[in-house]
Structure formats: structure tokens, C-alpha cells
């Protein structure tokens, strides 16, 4: 199982961010992690990528315990955090080639950078500095960086944030296609993205999973995400 979460809990002081959360994600699924602001989505993603330690429980990614074998777990994980960390003074191609070398690609970094530039649709912007790009194109650069080492698992926190409607279609199709051969966990607040990209929906509220179902098992046409959150909160 590429992603296994076993009884994960996390506290920030006296505030519970995650409470006894368990989750398995097999290869070939695109899982949408949904929930109100502060529900615990980003915290769970940071634990899975080794950026935060869990207070209790276990996170296993690509067969490696994140707490015990963090480097091994990260080697096959691509991560796009909510606040995309890019270097604004570097040119797009320069940045991606540098990230490729840092990820151990060596001489293959240049070729792989060219591949992910084409894959994410940033070819027209590749010779600009990252700081000159629109938010949408910076987001694409972040996604390209997450794909550089061809990871088995992708963890994407708000991957389409800042994209205009024309850009959205291409990135949604890309993520959907990546889900055929990868494990993808993404967070979003946009209902259309859930329908367009995700094969499964996991809703988290106040640190607890309150729903975990295939996308087709939920009638998303009849309600907004806010209404769905409200209904689940009342039911629980």
C-alpha cells in the first residue's frame, strides 16, 4: 500500500489538529482530501511528507515509516505544499535543473527538467525568472518540481490555487492522468475539481475523518462543499 496512516494524532498546544486518523490509499487512486479551513488537511500532508512529526500513530509512505526512514520515504514522494517554495531570482529552467540535481538526478536533471516543463505547460515561460511569473504559473513550476524525480506518490496541497479557467483544465487533466500510475492525495475547496480529478473523497473535520467514499457514491451536483461539510458536521 503506497500510503498508510495508522491512528495518527497531532496537537498544537491544547488544540487537536488530528485525532486518531487512519487511512489507506492504494496505487492508482486520486484521493481528494476535503474539509473546512483548520480541519487538519495540511497537517496530515505535512506528517506524510516528514515536515511535521506525529504525536501518536504511524505514517508509512511507499513502504517506509516516515518517522524512522524519512529520506527513503521522501525519495519516492512528490510534494507541493500550500505555500509553494520557489526561488524567485532563478529562471524557471535553471530552478528545475537545480532541484533535479539536488534530488540526485545528476546528468539526467537537464533532460528531466525539459520533460516536466512540457508536461506542466510552462514551456512559454521557461526562460523567465520565477519571480516574474503569475501565481498560476508559479503553481505550475511547483508541480513540475514535485514531478521531477518521477515519484510513486504525489501529495498536493491546493495544487490548482491561483490558476485561471484555461489553466485549470490542463492541470486537472494532468493530475487525473498521473493517477493512473501513481498514488495521488490532494486537497481542494473546489467541488468541480473533486468531480474532475478524484476517484475517492475523504472529508476531514476537526481532526476526524467524517466521510470516506468513492466519488461516484456522493451526489455532488445537488450541494456545495459548505453544505456537505455542514451536513456531515451535524450528523457527527
In a domain, 91, yes or no: yes
pLDDT digit string, tens, across residues 180-192: 888 999 998 777 7
In degrees rounded to 5, what are phi and psi of residue 19? -130, 105
Give residue 20's region: left, alpha or beta (phi > 0; psi -120 to 50).
left
Cα atoms in the 13 Å half-sphere on the side-chain side of 159: 36
pLDDT digit string, tens, across residues 83-118: 888 899 999 999 999 999 998 999 999 999 999 999
Residue span of the structural domain in which 131 resides = 84-149
Closest CA to 228 of 172, 186, 190: 190
In a domain, 235, yes or no: no
In a domain, 129, yes or no: yes
The H-assigned helical ranges of 33-134 are: 41-48, 70-75, 92-102, 109-119
In a domain, 133, yes or no: yes
pLDDT digit string, tens, across residues 163-177: 778 778 888 888 888
In a domain, 186, yes or no: no
147/34 Cα distance (integer angstroms): 23
In a domain, 174, yes or no: no
pLDDT at 236 > cutoff 70: no
Cα–Cα distances (Å) from 23 to 13, 36, 106, 215, in that order, read 24, 19, 35, 16
pLDDT digit string, tens, across residues 114-154: 999 999 889 999 999 999 998 888 989 999 999 999 999 99
**What pLDDT does residue 31 have?**
95
How many structural domains is the chain composed of? Answer: 1
Closest CA to 48 of 183, 140, 150: 183
In a domain, 125, yes or no: yes
pLDDT at 58 > cutoff 70: yes
The chain-wide mean pLDDT, for the chain, equals 89
In a domain, 10, yes or no: no
pLDDT at 222 > cutoff 60: no
Amino acid at each position: 500500500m503506497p500510503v498508510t496512516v495508522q491512528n495518527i494524532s497531532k496537537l498544537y498546544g491544547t488544540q487537536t489538529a488530528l485525532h486518531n486518523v487512519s487511512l489507506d490509499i492504494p496505487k492508482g487512486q486520486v484521493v481528494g482530501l476535503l474539509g473546512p479551513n483548520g480541519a487538519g488537511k495540511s497537517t496530515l500532508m505535512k506528517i506524510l511528507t516528514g515536515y511535521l512529526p506525529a504525536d501518536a500513530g504511524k505514517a508509512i509512505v511507499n513502504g517506509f515509516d516516515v518517522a524512522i526512514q524519512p529520506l527513503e520515504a521522501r525519495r519516492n514522494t512528490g510534494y507541493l505544499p500550500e505555500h509553494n517554495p520557489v526561488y524567485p531570482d532563478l529562471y524557471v529552467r535553471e530552478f528545475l535543473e537545480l532541484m533535479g540535481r539536488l534530488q540526485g538526478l545528476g546528468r539526467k536533471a537537464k533532460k528531466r527538467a525539459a520533460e516536466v516543463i512540457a508536461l506542466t505547460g510552462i514551456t512559454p515561460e521557461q526562460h523567465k525568472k520565477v519571480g516574474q511569473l503569475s501565481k498560476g504559473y508559479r503553481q505550475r513550476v511547483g508541480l513540475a518540481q514535485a514531478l521531477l524525480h518521477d515519484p510513486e506518490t504525489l501529495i498536493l496541497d491546493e495544487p490548482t490555487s491561483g490558476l485561471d479557467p484555461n489553466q485549470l483544465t490542463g492541470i486537472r487533466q494532468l493530475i487525473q492522468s498521473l493517477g493512473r500510475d501513481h498514488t495521488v492525495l490532494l486537497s481542494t475547496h473546489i467541488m468541480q475539481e473533486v468531480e474532475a480529478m478524484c476517484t475517492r473523497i475523504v472529508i476531514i473535520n476537526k481532526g476526524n475523518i467524517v466521510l470516506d467514499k468513492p466519488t461516484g457514491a456522493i451526489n455532488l451536483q445537488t450541494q456545495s462543499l459548505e453544505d456537505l461539510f455542514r451536513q456531515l458536521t451535524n450528523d457527527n
